[in-house]
Every structure is written in structure tokens, then in C-alpha cells.
Chains A and B, each alone.
Chain A
Amino acid sequence: MTGSTRLNLLVLPAVLFLLAVYVWPTLGLFRNAFNEVGPTGAMVEAWSLKTGAEVFADGFTFELTLNSLWLSLTSTLIALVLSYPVSLFLFRTNSRFRGLLAVIAIMPMLISGVVRVFGWLAILGDRGLVNTLAQSLGLISTPMRLVFNWTGVTIGLAESIMPYMILALLAGFGQLDRTLEEASRSLGATPFRTFLRVTLPLSLPALALAAGLGFVLSMSAYITPKLLGGGRVFVLATEIFEQATTNTNWPVAAMLAIYTLGLLLLLLAISNIAARRLQR
């Protein structure tokens, strides 16, 4: 339609805003990673790899990386195993409450993370739901340590990424043709065999994408490791925050952030390639 050249100009405010408050600061982050920290702890403008060398020579960085990867792997796997039946249920069900159930499944992502972390404290704490229940049943005599350690963080992270994974899986299932399952049943396969031989193989690409998403989200999560870890769980995310705020060591924080971002991109690429391979 004529007059659309002026319409195009409407993108300008958004472009300028993102250039100023997103692109420029992100470039600044990269720039900072090559600054140095002087003997007094003050930042010195430079173009050097000294910070980078320090960060990667430190065994602690390696340990943090392994911690982050392990935490993300375990919570992603737990979340995947739990999300899959919910997504499949939502995809299959004829219930007239389907819409409501879908909303309930993804609603937690709209509820403040702090609130949900607090809920886990009440469930997993020394005098929380699980310990009270186990003690009253006589299963244990002293409370189990379920929060302020890796267990609590893993559970909390798995729960926080589930809504995203359910959405991703549902999107993936959208391409799953129900008549294929019906065909399998009509050929004599039991529901379970049908699941193993038709449904599961066809949903593998969606699983790969959801896993990639969950991994990235848990790698970059800060609130859950911080609050449910109680200062005993060290991952890249917590270290970046500590370096930036408590230590005000910006070059190190920036270098770690770029390193983490690189890892995330690598993981995303792997899950995308895996999804594409599985599609065939």
C-alpha cells in the first residue's frame, strides 16, 4: 500500500532504544573483559588478555563450569522427564478443561521466582513439608538436608524451567500427526508399544529443543542457586554476580559473562543440530 515508507519510520524509536540500552552496553561488556585490575583493585583501562588469562588459569573457573554443567544437566533431565507426560497429556486430552490445565502448567513462569523459591523453602526446609511428613511417618529421625545444598537447587531449578519446556514440547507435538498413532493401534500395537515405536521417536526433535532450552535457562539462572543454595552452591551465575557486585571486579565478571554466553551458544547450537538430525 502506498504510504508505507512513512510507516517504516515507526521502527526508529525502538531501534534507537535498543542500540543505546542493549547493543551499546553489550559491546561495553565485551570491552570491559579486556580491561585490567590494578594492584589497588581499581580498574585500569587496557586492551589486554591479562584478565582472561587469570580467569582461565584459575582452577576455580573450571570447577564452576563443571558445577554449572552438572546442575543444568540434572535439573534439565528431571524437568524433561516431568514435562513430557504433562505435554503429552495436554496434547491428547479431550477434556473441556484443557485450556485451563494448559494455563496452570505454564502459569508458574509468570509468578515471581522469589515466591516459588520461598515455597520450596517451606517444602524442603528442615521443618518443611517433606521432613515433617517423613518424621511423622517414622521414616527418619533427624531432618534430611534438602535445601541450602545441591539437592534443593536442582529441585528448584527443575521446577522453574518446566513451564518453558512444556511450552516447547507442546509446540513440537503440534507437528505430531495423531492418525499415525491410530494407524499403529489399528495395526495391532498396544498403547505402550505405540508410544515406544511411534510417539516417542516422533517427539525426539521436540525433546532435543526443549532440553536445549532448559539447559540454557538453568545455566543462566541466578535467583534459585543463590537462595536455595544458601551460599553453599557455587556456579558461574553466582560467581558473575559476586564478582560484579561484592568484589566490584568488573573485568573478571565481564570475562566470565562472555565465557558463559559462549557456553550457552554452543549448547544451543548442539541442541538445534540434534533436533534437526532427529527430524529425519
Chain B
Amino acid sequence: MSYLELSGLQKRYRDSVAVDDVSLSVEQGEAVALLGPSGCGKTTTLRMLAGLVDPDRGAIRLDGAEITRLPAHKRNMGYVFQSYALFPHLSVARNVGFGLEERGVGKPEIARQVEEALALVRLAGLDQRRPRELSGGQQQRVALARSLVIRPSVLLLDESLSNLDAKLRDTMRHEIRSIQRSLGITTLFVTHDQVEALTMCDRIAVMDRGRIAQIGSAEDIYERPATRFVASFVGRSNVLPATRDAEGRAVLWGETLPVAVPASGEFDLFVRPQRMRILPVSEPVSPGMARVHGRVLRSVFVGDHVEVLIEGVGGQLTVEMQSGSAAPAEGTEVAVAWPLSDTLPFAREAA
């Protein structure tokens, strides 16, 4: 049995289902991301873990003990809120020491641990400030220190970086990850930002409409998405409508591609734009490659890469080229090639 087990969790509100059926096992010291769009139930799942929402069904077990109905204050879970939820009437030190005070820890010991925690999040010296006197990044660190100082059984982070600007978010990502690793603290991280999920966690659970669509390593999720939803939510893909020939092979823009396709119904081929290469029409490709023809519509320089939009008989697709490599001129007839193994067929959903 794993350290933390969620089984069959469900939460319905009056007219909607927030969490339909979530089961998840987390090992001690592991960091798992709950990744999904807003409304997929990831925050509700986290709040059920913290005891802030009562599940309608299912069970939560921590270190072998059932905690499903345990009130929040008895769970010892560190929760970092999206809004940080710092106590505005208390100093930074009192904020961080709050949990220890509630546990009846002695004053000198609280002072020592608070100092240590503030040093850990690099806020030493700000202990007498009020939360509103801190920047967003500093508030975030206080919230983190406040949750870490109680030595939580599980650290729960709810969209904790989404209120920071892009640059700070980058720094905090690495800091939180290294703190998490060095303390070996079991962590659940709710986010809608795939970069956060991919960089900060050992495993990712992609959530869709109240259920977990796929659990796996960053590579699993990215390279081998289990569902159409995962493929389209994680990373960018060309979604290319394809047809089926008499022998059941995929036909794309008039070219037959030897990939396994759904036996019936309409389907699309998902191909990541950065796996595609642009070749001169005359250049042949090796057997393991797919190849279609088209004309360059335009190229857009996006900083670290160039997006080339190509139009063929069956529609348009985007190829991502390294910036620096020369993009073909507009109007040029080109071939586009990619490994067949990077071609993922998914049945089209009924609208």
C-alpha cells in the first residue's frame, strides 16, 4: 500500500459534479501534479485531501490510516492557497509560527523553527513585516514556509504560482522543487500550467471532467498520451483530419501512412509541430517516416523558434523550426516529414 491513497473520491454539488471518480496512489517523498483545465475537479480533489471539502463517496488513506472524515485541523497537511491566504493581521513570523502555536510548541522553539523556515525560503530578516508589505513572490514564500514549518504529512499546493509574473514563476518553480526534494516531502501540486507540472513533479495526473485521464511520468504524458484530451491538453499538436483506405490504413493529404488507426468512425492524426521537418520536394525519406506535400503560407518568428504554416490538399499544418535555420520562402512547394512513431491517431469525439 502506498503512503497516500485516494480511492473512488466523488463530490457533487447541487447541479454539477466537481469530482466524479478519482483514485490515486502517491509514494512517500513523491511529487505528483494534478494537471487540468479549470473546472476539471483538481482543486476540489486537493481540498478533499486537506479536509476542507467532505467527499460524497470514496476514501482517503494516509500512511495506512483512514482520514476521509477527519477534520482539517487534525490532518497535518500543509496547504498553500492560490491566494496565499496569509493572515493580514499577523506579522510574517506570527504567520509562519501559527501552526506551531496551535500545536502548543514552546515560544523559544517556535522562534527557532520560524527562523529556520524563513531562511529556507530566503526571507530571513522580514519576520516583523505585515503580509501586505511584501511583494507577491515574498508572500508566496511566507505561505510556503508557514506550511512547511508544521512538517506536514503531505504538502498541497493549489495553483500556487499562478499569481506571480512569468519570470518569478520560473525561479519559484525551481526553488519549490529543490526544497521539496531536499526535505523529501510528499507533495501534491494542482496546476493548469503544463510547464509547471512537467518540471516540478515526478508524476503527472491529467484530469478531465472530474476524472483522471492519465497518470504517468512527464515523458509518458507527453510522448504517449492515453486519450485525445491528454494529447490536446499537454503540449501542442497538429490535429490532422485523416481518412481510412480499403486496407484500413490512414490516408492524409492523399498520402497513405502505415499507422494503426481506429477500426471505425472518424479520426484525426495528432503530430507535434516540433517533430516535423521541412524538406525539398525532391528529397526522399526513409521508410519509418511519414511525408506529405504542401506550400508554405507564411513563417512567423516566435523568439526561440519559427513557426511555418503549410497548406496542403487536406488543410493546414504548422511546423516548428529551430530559429536560426533558414525558413523556406512563402509560396515554396515543400515536403513535410516526421517519424511514423510520432503519429498518434485519436477517434473524433461526438461534438
Query: Hey, which bits of chain A sit against chain B, CB under 8 A?
Result: 1-3
Least CB distance from A5 to B in Å reads 12
Q: Across the interface, name the chain B residue whose C-beta is closest to A3.
A: B71
Query: In the assembled complex, which residues on chain B have CB atoms less than 8 Å from the CB atom of A3?
Result: 71
Which residues 41-60 in B have Cβ within 8 Å of A in the complex?
A: 51-52, 54
Q: How far is the CA of A1 from the CA of B54 in the complex (A)?
A: 8
Q: How far is the CA of A3 from the CA of B54 in the complex (A)?
A: 12
Query: In the assembled complex, which residues on chain A have CB atoms less than 8 Å from the CB atom of B54?
Result: 2
Q: Across the interface, name the chain B residue whose C-beta is closest to A2.
A: B71
B120 close to A (CB within 8 Å): no
Q: How far is the CA of A205 from the CA of B72 in the complex (A)?
A: 46
Q: Across the interface, name the chain A residue whose C-beta is closest to B72.
A: A1
Query: Hey, which bits of chain B sit against chain A, CB under 8 A?
Result: 51-52, 54, 69, 71-72
Q: How far is the CA of A161 from the CA of B72 in the complex (A)?
A: 50
The SS class assigned to the A binding surface is loop
Q: How far is the CA of A2 from the CA of B71 in the complex (A)?
A: 6
Q: Across the interface, name the chain A residue whose C-beta is closest to B52.
A: A1
Cβ-closest 3 pairs across A and B: A2-B71, A3-B71, A1-B72
Q: Across the interface, name the chain A residue whose C-beta is closest to B71.
A: A2
Query: In the assembled complex, which residues on chain B have CB atoms less than 8 Å from the CB atom of A2?
Result: 51, 54, 69, 71-72
Least CB distance from A62 to B in Å reads 51
| Interface CB pairs A-B, < 8 A, 5 | A1-B72, A2-B51, A2-B54, A2-B71, A3-B71
Least CB distance from B87 to A in Å reads 17
Least CB distance from B340 to A in Å reads 54
Q: How far is the CA of A23 from the CA of B207 in the complex (A)?
A: 53
Least CB distance from A163 to B in Å reads 33
Query: In the assembled complex, which residues on chain A have CB atoms less than 8 Å from the CB atom of B72?
Result: 1-2
Least CB distance from B106 to A in Å reads 27
Q: How far is the CA of A2 from the CA of B72 in the complex (A)?
A: 8
Q: How far is the CA of A38 from the CA of B158 in the complex (A)?
A: 75
Q: How far is the CA of A1 from the CA of B71 in the complex (A)?
A: 7
Query: In the assembled complex, which residues on chain B have CB atoms less than 8 Å from the CB atom of A1?
Result: 51-52, 71-72
Q: How far is the CA of A1 from the CA of B72 in the complex (A)?
A: 8
Q: How far is the CA of A209 from the CA of B68 in the complex (A)?
A: 50
Query: In the assembled complex, which residues on chain A have CB atoms less than 8 Å from the CB atom of B71?
Result: 1-3
Least CB distance from B70 to A in Å reads 8
Q: Across the interface, name the chain A residue whose C-beta is closest to B53.
A: A1
Query: In the assembled complex, which residues on chain A have CB atoms less than 8 Å from the CB atom of B51?
Result: 1-2
Least CB distance from B60 to A in Å reads 14
Q: How far is the CA of A2 from the CA of B69 in the complex (A)?
A: 8
Q: How far is the CA of A3 from the CA of B52 in the complex (A)?
A: 12
Beyond contacts A1-B72, A2-B69, A2-B71: 7 other A-B pairs, Cβ-Cβ < 8 A, are A1-B51, A1-B52, A1-B71, A2-B51, A2-B54, A2-B72, A3-B71
Least CB distance from B69 to A in Å reads 7
Q: How far is the CA of A1 from the CA of B69 in the complex (A)?
A: 10
Q: How far is the CA of A3 from the CA of B71 in the complex (A)?
A: 8
Least CB distance from A76 to B in Å reads 41
Q: Across the interface, name the chain A residue whose C-beta is closest to B69.
A: A2
Q: How far is the CA of A2 from the CA of B52 in the complex (A)?
A: 8
Least CB distance from A208 to B in Å reads 33
Q: How far is the CA of A2 from the CA of B47 in the complex (A)?
A: 13
Least CB distance from B116 to A in Å reads 31
Q: How far is the CA of A208 from the CA of B318 in the complex (A)?
A: 60
Q: How far is the CA of A238 from the CA of B51 in the complex (A)?
A: 59
Least CB distance from B44 to A in Å reads 15
Least CB distance from A3 to B in Å reads 6
Least CB distance from A47 to B in Å reads 46
Q: How far is the CA of A2 from the CA of B70 in the complex (A)?
A: 8
Least CB distance from A226 to B in Å reads 48
Q: How far is the CA of A214 from the CA of B51 in the complex (A)?
A: 49
Least CB distance from A144 to B in Å reads 59
Q: How far is the CA of A3 from the CA of B69 in the complex (A)?
A: 11
Least CB distance from A160 to B in Å reads 40
Q: How far is the CA of A3 from the CA of B51 in the complex (A)?
A: 12
Least CB distance from A4 to B in Å reads 10
Query: In the assembled complex, which residues on chain A have CB atoms less than 8 Å from the CB atom of B52?
Result: 1
Least CB distance from B308 to A in Å reads 42
Least CB distance from A218 to B in Å reads 42
Q: How far is the CA of A2 from the CA of B74 in the complex (A)?
A: 11
Q: How far is the CA of A2 from the CA of B51 in the complex (A)?
A: 8
Q: How far is the CA of A217 from the CA of B71 in the complex (A)?
A: 49
Least CB distance from B74 to A in Å reads 9
Least CB distance from B98 to A in Å reads 17
Q: How far is the CA of A278 from the CA of B69 in the complex (A)?
A: 51
Least CB distance from B261 to A in Å reads 51
Q: How far is the CA of A225 from the CA of B147 in the complex (A)?
A: 64
Q: How far is the CA of A139 from the CA of B110 in the complex (A)?
A: 82
Least CB distance from A66 to B in Å reads 50
Q: How far is the CA of A3 from the CA of B72 in the complex (A)?
A: 10
Q: Across the interface, name the chain A residue whose C-beta is closest to B54.
A: A2
Q: How far is the CA of A3 from the CA of B70 in the complex (A)?
A: 11
Least CB distance from B55 to A in Å reads 12
Least CB distance from A118 to B in Å reads 44
Least CB distance from A63 to B in Å reads 54
